Structure 1
Amino acid sequence: MTGAVEVLAELRRRGQTLATAESLTGGLIGGLLTDVPGASASYLGGVITYATRLKATLADVDEAVLTELGPVAAPTAAQMAAGVARRCHADWGLAVTGVAGPDPQDGHPVGQVFVAVARVDGEPQVRELHLAGDRTAIRNRTAAAAIALLAEALGMDRAGSGVEAVW
C-alpha cells in the first residue's frame, strides 16, 4: 500500500483522477488504492475485465486486437488503460492483463504480464513482465508494478516515492 499513498497524493496535488481496468488481479489494485483514506479525491473506480469479452465491452479493447492477439498482449493492455480512462472520464487509466497461473494460457507462460498506463490525451505506456512465484505472488507483484508504472508516468522520483518497481 505504500506506493498507493504517494501516487494518490500526487494525483490529488495535480487535481487529476484515475480509473483502473484489471484482469488477473481481479480488483487487487482498486483495493490497494481504496485502502488509502481519502482515495476518493482521485480514484474514481474501475472495472474487472477477467473475461476476454469484458475487455471489449467495458474497457473498449478493439475486437480485432482480441481476436488477433488475444487478452494477454501489449496492445490489449494499452487499449484497456486508454479505454477505462475514457469510459470513467478520468485523467489516467491503469490496466493489467496476464497469466497468474497455475497453468499457462493460450501459449502464454505463467507470470507473463502486461501493465499499462495511459493519460486520457496521450500515448499509453506498456511494460511486459515475466514474474516468478505462485498465483498470489504474481498477482501482488503485478499490482505493485502497476502502481510503480503510474508513479513513473506521473514523473515521481521512485527513490523517494515509496514505490518499488519490479522491472
Structure 2
Amino acid sequence: MNAEIIAVGTELLLGQIANTNAQYLSSELAQLGINVFYHTAVGDNSSRLKDVIKGAQQRSNLIIFTGGLGPTKDDLTKETVASVLSVELEHDQKALNQIEQYFQRTNRHMTENNKKQALVLKGATVFPNDNGMAPGIAYKNKDCLYLLFPGPPSELKLMFDKYGRSFLLEQLETKQFMESRVLRFFGIGESQLETEIEDLIDSQKNPTIAPLAGEGEVTLRLTAKDNSLDRVTEMLNKVEEEIQRRVGTFFYGYGTTSLHSELFKKLQEKKLTISSAESLTGGSFANELTSFNGASLVYQGSIVCYQNEVKEKLLNVSPQVIKEHGAVSFECAKQMAEQVRQTLNSDIGVSFTGVAGPAEQEGKPVGTVFIGISIKNSKTEVYTLKLSGSRNGIRNRAVKYANFYLLKLLS
C-alpha cells in the first residue's frame, strides 16, 4: 500500500502553523509497513484541491486528507472529494447527535452550518470524533482508499489511534512490520562517513540506509521491513553491527538524543560532577547542561572568563602562562580546566578558549580552539581544533566537541 498525505488549509501555506499531522501520520504508517511517498499541502481552494487529488490518484492507492472538515465555507475537503469521486454526501446520524449534544451540554446555540460537520460520503466507514465534532471518513473507490481526518492534531491523533490504525490493518492483504533506527555520529563529515560505508549503501535493499547531515553531526536512518518483528530487529542489528565496526568511533547515540543529553545521562550514571571555565563559549556549555531537570546533581557551576584578568584572579591561571603562551593556548586551556575543577570542587573541569572571530587574536587565526578536560586523579587532556564557519557556529561546535570528548573519556 503506497500512501500520500494531503494537508488542506491555507494557514499551512502562510506558515501560520506547522504540518505536524503529516509527520505523525508518516511515523504511524511506517510502523504498519505502509509506504508514504508524497506529502502535499494545498490551500482552501476547491479547484486546486481537485488537481491535487487527481494527481494523487495516479500514483497512490491510499490517500489521506487532514483538515477542511469544519463548519465554515472554506472547509471543503469532503465536498471536493465527493465531487471528484461522484459520490453523494449524507448526514451521519450518530455524528449529528453528538454535535447536538455538545451544544446542549455547553448551553450554546447551534447554528445551521454546524450540521455540515456531520456530512459523510455515502456508504463510507465513519470514525467517531471523541475529541471534537467532525467525524473521520474511510471510503473505498475502485483500487484506492480515501481517509479523511480532522485537522486539529488532538482530534486526528486520538481518532487514528482508536479507529484509523485498526481499520488500515484490516485492509492490508499482507501485514508487515517496519521499523527505523537512527544512529547519531559526531566528528566525522557526511562525505567521509558515506565513503566508509559506501558499499553498504550501494547494495542496500532491506534494510535501507539513509545518511542525513545536521549541524556538525551526521545521522544514519536504518529501515527494515518484514512479516516478522523479530526478523526486522535481527536485520537492523546485523547492518548496525557492520556500521559500528567501521565508524563506531564517532557514534554517540540513538534516535532524537543530543550530545549534551547523552553527557548529562553519563554524568548521572557515574555520579560525577562537572564545572566549566568558558572564555570562547561565554557560558554556552553551562546553558546546555543546566537545561535538564536535576542538573544541580551533576553541575557545580561555571566561570565565564573573557578577560585575562578574570582568568588570573578568579581561576588562578598563571600570569606567566598567559604572558608566554597567550590566553588562546594549550597551556592556558589546561590550567583553566584544572583550576575550575579545584575551585568549584567538582570531579571534572572543562575549559574553552579560542578565537571565534571576526579577526585573529594573539596571531592565531579565527577558528583556533583549545578544549581542556581535567578529571580527578587522571591526566588532563587538551584538544586542539581548527574550526570554520560563523562566529556562533564556531562557538556552538566547540561545545559539541567538548561534549563528545567527555563522553568518550567517561566511556
Give the alignment's TM-score, normalised by structure 1: 0.89
Cα deviation, residue 49, structure 1: 0.8
More relative contact order, 1 or 2 (CA 8 Å, 6+ apart) = 1
Aligned residue among 71, 74, 79 for 2:335: 79
* 1:19 equivalent in structure 2: 275
Distance 2:341 2:322 in 1: 19
Residues 17-166 of structure 1: pairs in structure 2 closer than 5 A: 17-155=273-411
Amino acid at match of 2:291: D
- Change in 2 beyond 3 A, CA 1:7/1:86: same
Distance 1:100 1:138 in 2: 6
Residue deviations 1:88-140 (CA, integer Å, cap 9, x gap): 00000011100000000110100000011111322211110000011010011
Distance 1:113 1:92 in 2: 19
Distance 2:343 2:409 in 1: 20
35-44 or 84-93, which deviates more? 35-44
CA contact (8 A) 1:117 1:150 kept: yes
In the comparison of the two structures, how many residue pairs are matched? 155
SS of the residue aligned with 1:113? strand
Cα deviation, residue 59, structure 1: 2.1
Cα deviation, residue 16, structure 1: 1.1
Unaligned runs of 5+ in 2: 1-256
Cα deviation, residue 12, structure 1: 1.5
CA contact (8 A) 1:8 1:43 kept: no
Give the alignment's TM-score, normalised by structure 2: 0.37
* 1:164 equivalent in structure 2: none
Report percent identity of matched pairs.
37
SS of the residue aligned with 2:300? strand
Unaligned runs of 5+ in 1: 156-167
Larger strand proportion of the pair: 2
Distance 1:116 1:9 in 2: 21
SS of the residue aligned with 2:275? strand
Cα deviation, residue 36, structure 1: 1.8
Distance 1:106 1:6 in 2: 35
Computing the radius of gyration from Cα coordinates, the structure with the larger value is 2
